[in-house]
Amino acid sequence: MKPKPDSSEAIRLMLAYLCVATEKEASLERKVEILDKFDLTDSEIATICSSAVQSIRNARHYSRKHGHKSKKSQ
């Protein structure tokens, strides 16, 4: 059983979720890029994005390799 996060941790996760909740059309790479600003672990980001931890690692790798694309280049 997972230990319950303390209130400051729960608030941080909730704020992170709200930052990507409005980005429903965004790719996983973009969501990971946003959530990285919160210094979250792979498993925390996976929970927020409803994805597997390996998918988060892959998205991070893809972003690092290809860089952030602007809307003009997409």
CB atoms within 10 A of CB 29: 19
Say what the pTM is. Answer: 0.75
Separation between Cα atoms, residue 51 and residue 66, nearest integer Å: 21
Instruction: Specify whether the CB–CB gap between 21 and 3 falls below 8 A.
Output: no
pLDDT in tens, 21-59: 888 888 999 999 999 999 899 999 999 999 999 999 999
